[in-house]
Amino acid sequence: MAHPVDAGGSWASRAAERLAAAGYRLGGARAAVLDLLDEQPCALTAYEIEAALRGRGRAVGRASVYRVLDELDELGLVTRVELGQSQARYEPARPDHHHHHLVCERCGAVVPFDDAGLERAIDALSRRADFDVHGHDIVLRGACAACRGSLS
């Protein structure tokens, strides 16, 4: 039976191949982190990754999680996202998918969003400014629906 990381064409399988090519063994911690990240719609902190793995019955220590994230970051396999919450978040670097983040300043919820109009506006701005934009991150801060409702 194939390991979930080996499933054809997934981010996790591509990441596993890149790690192997760089000389890393695909041990338990690496495989567990890859599998978890591949399923996520948005960025997670190392603590959230550790907690999610523990919830799945996978005891992977935080030091191992950080080590794997550093390896993935070094190989360009994850994107490190800084959302101003004093903790870095990590998500798979997927060239075919780009999104931004809404952050609730009260509860800390992070919601991914994409917007074709926003992307077109950024492209138009780069043309007007004669500036070659290689990347961008948009973080919108405010209050989520649940927190807005609790303020009433």
- 113 and 90 assigned to the same domain: no
- Residue-wise pLDDT for 55-86, tens only, equals 999 889 899 999 999 999 999 999 888 877 67
Q: Assess contact for 65 and 19: CB atoms under 8 A.
A: no
- 57 and 114 assigned to the same domain: no
Per-residue confidence at 152, pLDDT binned at 50, 70, 90? Answer: low
Q: Output DSSP code: residue 4.
A: G
Residue 94: what pLDDT? Answer: 83
- 36 and 74 assigned to the same domain: yes
Write out the two tokens for 51.
């907690």
- 80 and 34 assigned to the same domain: yes
- 86 and 132 assigned to the same domain: no
Residue 21: what pLDDT? Answer: 95
- 84 and 59 assigned to the same domain: yes
Q: Assess contact for 47 and 103: CB atoms under 8 A.
A: no
Span 40-68, mean pLDDT? Answer: 92
Give me the torsion for CA of 140, 146, 147, 150, rounded to 10°: 160
Residue 90, domain CATH: 1.10.10.10
pLDDT beyond 60 at 2:
no
Write out the two tokens for 7.
């499933």
- Residue-wise pLDDT for 94-146, tens only, equals 877 788 889 898 988 888 898 999 999 999 999 999 999 888 888 899 999 99
- 11 and 72 assigned to the same domain: yes
The domain of 24 spans 1-95
Helix axes 62-74, 11-21, angle to 10 degrees: 80
Write out the two tokens for 41.
């719609």
Residue 137, domain CATH: 3.30.1490.190
Q: Among 95, 110, 132, identify where a domain stops.
A: 95
Class of residue 1 by CB neighbours under 10 A (exposed 0-12, middle 13-18, buried 19+): exposed
Span 9-13, mean pLDDT? Answer: 88
pLDDT beyond 90 at 1:
no
pLDDT beyond 90 at 87:
no
